[in-house]
Structure 1
Amino acid sequence: MEPAEYQPIDLKLTGVGVTIITIVGVMGNTLSAIVLYQPKMRSSVTLLLLGLTFCDTTFLITLFVLQGLRALVFDYFLGIRFAEKFFGFLTSNFFIVSSFALTGSYYFTMATTLDRYVAVWWPLKARHLCTWSRARYVAAVVVLISITYPTFSNLYIVESPESLENRTRLILSKCGEDFHVPKDEASKFIDASFESDFLSWPYLIIMMLFPFTTLVVFNSLIYVKVRQANKTRKNMTSQENTDISYAVICVMITVLFLSCNSALITMAVLMRFYNCKFQQWKSVLISVDTFLVSVNSSSNFIIYCTMGTRFRRQLKRVLSHWSVFSRCFPIEPGLGGNISMKTTRKTRSSVA
């Protein structure tokens, strides 16, 4: 497919689509972070979901700067040459931040899955393992992985000719920041380096095989446990109901994650194992993958509102305190401490 034929598809998916999804997604993720940070939502899974929300928001912003803004304004209206010159500086700086956020999004999703697996399969051990303090250590490890792997994967050995000494010196340089790569050509250099990294075994293992296999296996086990728990829901305690609710949210997040990254997996398999470069459809697949990844990073708020009863309750409370939404979301007189007082009196009278 020629660039002229590809340009309208890039404008619709990457330009208009990613821009709209970024605006809606950042608003939804901001509300999610506010609700998840509430004291009554404090738990290990909410801390991990907070980390996931932060990574998704950062990735959406960088994706809009690198792809959405380019396709919407520069490539279509101002021309590709001007876009390459202007985005040389942005690409060399935002690309590594985007890699940080994408890696963090992958591994925070996996950490949330492991947390819910322990909670539903070993509820007694989960009281000591799935705590806020322990979740902070898990989040720190995920952040460390998210920073370490992209940093080293974006370092390259380049040749530095020294004319005076008549020799060539090898320098370890960051992607797009070497003097051999002008700023107006940094985006081309990163596209070429990304394709080589995309086919490398470390990328396939760390960013695809290991996270995706872990998510499929453990979420399948969580789904089995949720099916068993639904048969005995009447005999479950409130804490068990909460754990099951978060487990369902985790499964839904994983299903969305796997669905939106299916294009990326397909492209990696075709390029690596079948030596298929598909140059004719490469640009279209990249636009589709960019659009789907942005949908994945912006849709968790919908899952929280749909599947999380406690999240909806806390969201209503948060919105009711804002004067703009106070009329739409009034505080019910029976919520809060009044409920606990009434239930306490009832239990005391029943015991007496």
Structure 2
Amino acid sequence: MNASLECDTDAGVSESDKLFRFVVHGVLLNGIGAAGLLGNALAVLVLSRPQMRSSINCLLVGLAACDTALILTSVLLFGLSAVYPYGGALRYYYYHVCPRLTPLAYPLANVAQTMSVYLTLVVTLERWVAVCRPFRAKALCTSARARWYVLATAAFAFAYNAPKFFEAEVVAVGDPAGEHVYCVRAAAAFRTERYVAVYIHWMYLVVMYALPFSALAALNAAIVRQVRRAQAERARLSRVQRRELGLATMLLVVVLVFFLCNLLPLVTNAFEVFLGDQFDNLDPLVKTSNLLVTINSSVNFVIYVIFGEKFKRVFLKMFCAGRARARAGRESPEHTRDDSFASCGERVSLRLARNGTLRRSDARGARVARPRRASPAPTVYYPAPAPSTDVSLASSDAAPPAPPPARNGNSRLHF
């Protein structure tokens, strides 16, 4: 293959720029992306278990799927294509495979990015309802509604990013009948100056940053106030209330990581919108932003393991048989079944046992009183007063705190 054939965008690129791209995308993005794909796959396996079924976990499964799609497209668009310019390997992929993937992979990456941002917002909204409006949680926070929330977010993401399917075009450089390479360039007839100013810059700033960031900040501020108020009364909280407290705290960590990973993309986009040509060399910031997006999409599994007690327990039962057997003596099957990662009005972790009229006969025919379980008590969220329980509260039915995680955001994607 003729090594002199190249795209216009490759001409005049310095060795230092090639090295920076290779380190940031070729090494870090590919490595973190591979770990993120494994972590998201494990997260989906754990969150999909029957004992983990809840509205928040349904949302987190959708978030993990979006993050997986975003990582895959980022690796295909940026990670693998960063190897050839510096190291000389993967030339065929760089000039033949990647250009033909870009018109489809690039808009899909933006769809996954949009879904990730707004599913993070939906997860936060769900936690706000459970923590600050507990009496509406049972109606609003259900698995069936959570599936509709994911579908609605997907529909919005595809509708908003539909124009991106027409932004790029592929051209052949060289002899089309002989030796040639493929290059990607912007569709000049479609990407007019007004289109770039309104849709690429301003709408991106408002839809992807201003609106979700403002809503996330307001909702999490309310959650933090409620968490602090509950922590002051922690000794009087029920087990269910303490579980909700731990869940809210864990999701605050997820949102904090989202903010940190999206801060640089926000600054970069603001530079493009307000300062324009005064910042011509934004390429290093854009490449670093894409790396931060991949990091944000890859770390949720780690947060779940660190802060999610039930997630960690189920994960160890699935993949660490030794630990599972060690815990089996201390936990009954019903304990694991009732302890919900996020109850949100669907799961009941406390059951009341009381003396009822049911009786059974012993071996000698005598009638013996037999405790009867009452119907499940509704989940109570802090800071509501702890539910009164009978002294015969079944300890094997009480569920330890459980934690679910939530999400992620993303940075701007460029090609």
TM-score range, shorter chain: 0.7 to 0.9
Q: In the TM superposition, what is the alpha-carbon distance from 1:294 to its structure 2 partner?
A: 0.7
Instruction: Report which stretch shifted further, 256-265 or 38-47.
Output: 38-47
Residue 337 of structure 1 pairs with residue 348 of structure 2: no
**Change in CA separation of 1:339 and 1:144 when aligned onto 2, cut-off 3 Å:** closer
Tell me, in whole angstroms, the C-alpha distance in 2 between the residues paired with 1:338 and 1:40.
10
Question: Letter of the aligned partner of 1:334 in structure 2?
Answer: R
Query: SS in structure 2 opposite 1:266?
Result: helix
The normalised TM-score by structure 1 is 0.82
Tell me which residue corresponds to 1:283.
283
Q: Deviations over 1:49-90 (max 9, x none)?
A: 111100001100110010000112455314989824442101
Could you tell me whether the CA contact under 8 Å between 2:47 and 2:57 is conserved in 1? yes
Tell me which residue corresponds to 2:212.
211
Question: Letter of the aligned partner of 1:76 in structure 2?
Answer: G
Tell me which residue corresponds to 1:293.
293
Q: Deviations over 1:264-306 (max 9, x none)?
A: 10011111122355223x2211121111111100000111111
Tell me, in whole angstroms, the C-alpha distance in 1 between the residues paired with 2:127 and 2:352.
34
Tell me, in whole angstroms, the C-alpha distance in 2 between the residues paired with 1:279 and 1:245.
46
Q: In the TM superposition, what is the alpha-carbon distance from 1:2 to its structure 2 partner?
A: 5.5
Could you tell me whether the CA contact under 8 Å between 1:36 and 1:46 is conserved in 2? yes
Tell me, in whole angstroms, the C-alpha distance in 1 between the residues paired with 2:84 and 2:171.
28
Q: Which has the larger radius of gyration?
A: 2
Tell me which residue corresponds to 2:186.
189
Residue 146 of structure 1 pairs with residue 170 of structure 2: no
Tell me which residue corresponds to 2:233.
232
**Change in CA separation of 1:28 and 1:189 when aligned onto 2, cut-off 3 Å:** same
Could you tell me whether the CA contact under 8 Å between 2:66 and 2:115 is conserved in 1? yes
Could you tell me whether the CA contact under 8 Å between 1:117 and 1:218 is conserved in 2? yes
Tell me, in whole angstroms, the C-alpha distance in 1 between the residues paired with 2:220 and 2:200.
27
Tell me, in whole angstroms, the C-alpha distance in 2 between the residues paired with 1:79 and 1:309.
43
Tell me, in whole angstroms, the C-alpha distance in 2 between the residues paired with 1:38 and 1:262.
34
Gaps of 5+ in 1: 156-173, 321-325
Question: Letter of the aligned partner of 1:83 in structure 2?
Answer: Y
Q: Deviations over 1:5-28 (max 9, x none)?
A: 211111111110011111111111
Q: In the TM superposition, what is the alpha-carbon distance from 1:203 to its structure 2 partner?
A: 1.5
Identity %: 26
Could you tell me whether the CA contact under 8 Å between 2:81 and 2:93 is conserved in 1? no
Question: Letter of the aligned partner of 1:265 in structure 2?
Answer: L
Query: SS in structure 2 opposite 1:208?
Result: helix
Q: Deviations over 1:141-183 (max 9, x none)?
A: 11111211111x315xxxxxxxxxxxxxxxxxx2225889998
Could you tell me whether the CA contact under 8 Å between 1:270 and 1:276 is conserved in 2? no
Could you tell me whether the CA contact under 8 Å between 1:317 and 1:331 is conserved in 2? no
Question: Letter of the aligned partner of 1:185 in structure 2?
Answer: C
Question: Letter of the aligned partner of 2:182 in structure 1?
Answer: D
Tell me which residue corresponds to 2:359.
none
Question: Letter of the aligned partner of 1:189 in structure 2?
Answer: A
Q: Pairwise CA RMSD of aligned residues?
A: 3.2
Could you tell me whether the CA contact under 8 Å between 2:40 and 2:68 is conserved in 1? yes
Of 124, 132, 136, the match for 1:113:
124
Could you tell me whether the CA contact under 8 Å between 1:199 and 1:271 is conserved in 2? no
Of 30, 40, 47, the match for 2:51:
40
Could you tell me whether the CA contact under 8 Å between 2:171 and 2:182 is conserved in 1? no
Tell me, in whole angstroms, the C-alpha distance in 1 between the residues paired with 2:216 and 2:352.
45
Tell me, in whole angstroms, the C-alpha distance in 1 between the residues paired with 2:113 and 2:62.
12
Q: Deviations over 1:178-207 (max 9, x none)?
A: 889998232x32799597677532221111
Tell me which residue corresponds to 1:22.
33
Q: In the TM superposition, what is the alpha-carbon distance from 1:346 to its structure 2 partner?
A: 8.9
**Change in CA separation of 1:82 and 1:72 when aligned onto 2, cut-off 3 Å:** closer
Q: In the TM superposition, what is the alpha-carbon distance from 1:225 to its structure 2 partner?
A: 1.0
Question: Letter of the aligned partner of 1:251 in structure 2?
Answer: L
Query: SS in structure 2 opposite 1:274?
Result: helix
Question: Letter of the aligned partner of 1:297 in structure 2?
Answer: S
**Change in CA separation of 1:277 and 1:4 when aligned onto 2, cut-off 3 Å:** farther
Tell me, in whole angstroms, the C-alpha distance in 2 between the residues paired with 1:338 and 1:202.
50
